[in-house]
Structure 1
Amino acid sequence: MDTSAARQAILGRIRKAQGRPAQPAPAERDAAAAYMAQHSAGPRPAFGSDLMLRFTEQALRMSDTVEEVAVPGEVPTAVARYLDAIGVARKAIAWKTLEGMAWREAGVDVEFRPPRNEDLTGITGVFCAIAETGTLMLLSGADTYSSASLLPETHIAVVPVSRIVASMEDAFALARAEHGALPRAVNFISGPSRTGDIEQTIVLGAHGPYRVHVVVVRGE
């Protein structure tokens, strides 16, 4: 049983115990949506109107590296430059949503598929990025496989400035507005994987990528 089916089974048992139908009626869904729309937001910190600056500052604090480019067409060259700088081969897997970029012209060998054990670099887009915490929000899908950001040693994320939101609340509001129901997996990435389990010493790459590089795209 996959995650979605298991969740539906659990919710179905709860509804049955409450004496309600297995599936919510339209009126019940409308009432839930109205409640969420009217629910007042809690206090949030003020950090100015420059969301890109705040996101970059927080991403760097999370041990990401960040580079800005002017337009999407500059992304492949920026990726090639980064891979050269860290001494990693110009070879990667990527989301299918990035297939239209000029990777070959930039000298980067990219395959648009989920990663395998031998793949060292994964390139993804994002659903959005959160300025408050420097976090990347990724939604899983047929062309946006979660494993691309989890299995390779190096994760490179392409973040359009237009997809930077202020807070986690704004990220979920955007997801509801654009997708309605959330997909099977929603991943929040705040810097490279890390642990402090051994003598309270922080070690990067314990449970996933030990490098996260963000390419921020200023223009469309």
Structure 2
Amino acid sequence: MDTSTARRNILARIRAGQGREPEPAASEREAAQAYLASRPQGPRPPMPADLVAHFIEQAKKMATTVDTVESLADAPAAAHRYLSELNLPTQAIAWQTLEALPWSGSGIDVEFRKPRDEDRVGITGCFCATAETGTLVLLSGPETYASAGLLPETHIAIVPASRIVAGHEEAFNLIRSERGELPRAVNFVSGPSRTGDIEQTIVLGAHGPYRVHAIVVRGA
């Protein structure tokens, strides 16, 4: 369900109550951007030159499994290899943005739609990924539905190496520069879903995927 219109209407009513126009003027947006640019960043850990290697290292610490391939065309076969090695279902749903990849003959039966209750494997891309914490950054949209990486038990994410940035600050800067404004949902995925609520024992798959597998594409 797209709630973008409802969100705009709610914000417009708030702005009307403040005596402002329903939509922010260009000057307001510029002032907000200037404010963000002028704020000093807090202390951050030093980052190595090889962000891809650091992302892989940090992702594994968060229980994300990682494979690397040379091109996007290699990703479907890598996804099938992962599923087969764990004896997982080879039926999956995926983002529509991935439809052009060579899934035919990969061994995976892929449907490009939102997941339903019976779907066990979801395949997504990512807007970018952060090396500092080994985190995937997913933006929701008509073809990049957030549920694909949240509802199935197994989440496979295709990660172009060129989209791995240093940290969350760079990720948000990239969103602002390329999208202009935040979408309905921005999800930061750092490994499988987990909780330690019961006797401080970590349990995976508490309120999301049991498994997260990143396929890093070095040539993309």
Q: Normalised by the shorter chain, which TM-score bucket?
A: over 0.9
Match of 2:96 in 1: 96
Match of 1:137 in 2: 137
TM-score, normalised via structure 1 length = 0.93
- The secondary structure found in structure 1 opposite 2:89 is coil
Match of 2:127 in 1: 127
Match of 1:207 in 2: 207
Distance change >3 Å, CA 33–CA 133, structure 1 → 2 = same
| Cα offsets for 1:110-153 (capped at 9, x unmatched) | 11111111111000000000000111000011110111001110
| Cα offsets for 1:20-79 (capped at 9, x unmatched) | 344333222222222223333222110211101111111001101001111111111111
CA distance in structure 2 between the aligned counterparts of 1:25 and 1:12, rounded to whole angstroms: 12
Match of 2:34 in 1: 34
**Aligned partner letter, 1:50:** D
Match of 1:115 in 2: 115
Match of 1:181 in 2: 181
TM-score, normalised via structure 2 length = 0.93
The CA deviation at 1:8 is 4.1
CA distance in structure 1 between the aligned counterparts of 2:15 and 2:54, rounded to whole angstroms: 43
Task: Indicate yes or no: 2:153 matched with 1:169.
Answer: no
CA distance in structure 1 between the aligned counterparts of 2:196 and 2:113, rounded to whole angstroms: 32
- The secondary structure found in structure 1 opposite 2:58 is helix
CA distance in structure 1 between the aligned counterparts of 2:14 and 2:112, rounded to whole angstroms: 41
**Aligned partner letter, 1:128:** C
The CA deviation at 1:107 is 1.4
Match of 1:193 in 2: 193
CA distance in structure 1 between the aligned counterparts of 2:67 and 2:147, rounded to whole angstroms: 23
Residues matched between the structures, number: 220
Which stretch of the first structure deviates more once superposed, 144-153 or 100-109? 100-109
Match of 1:48 in 2: 48
Over the aligned positions, Cα root-mean-square deviation in angstroms equals 1.8
| Cα offsets for 1:177-213 (capped at 9, x unmatched) | 0000111111110110011111211110010100000
- The secondary structure found in structure 1 opposite 2:162 is helix
Task: Indicate yes or no: 2:78 matched with 1:74.
Answer: no
The CA deviation at 1:101 is 1.2
Task: Indicate yes or no: 2:162 matched with 1:153.
Answer: no
CA distance in structure 1 between the aligned counterparts of 2:112 and 2:3, rounded to whole angstroms: 25
The CA deviation at 1:102 is 1.3
| Cα offsets for 1:154-188 (capped at 9, x unmatched) | 00000010000001000000000000011111111
- The secondary structure found in structure 2 opposite 1:192 is coil
The CA deviation at 1:6 is 5.6
Distance change >3 Å, CA 122–CA 141, structure 1 → 2 = same
Which stretch of the first structure deviates more once superposed, 120-129 or 21-30? 21-30
Match of 2:216 in 1: 216
The percentage of counterpart residues that share the same residue type is 63
Distance change >3 Å, CA 23–CA 101, structure 1 → 2 = closer
**Aligned partner letter, 2:202:** I
CA distance in structure 1 between the aligned counterparts of 2:73 and 2:174, rounded to whole angstroms: 26
- The secondary structure found in structure 2 opposite 1:82 is helix
CA distance in structure 2 between the aligned counterparts of 1:2 and 1:100, rounded to whole angstroms: 25
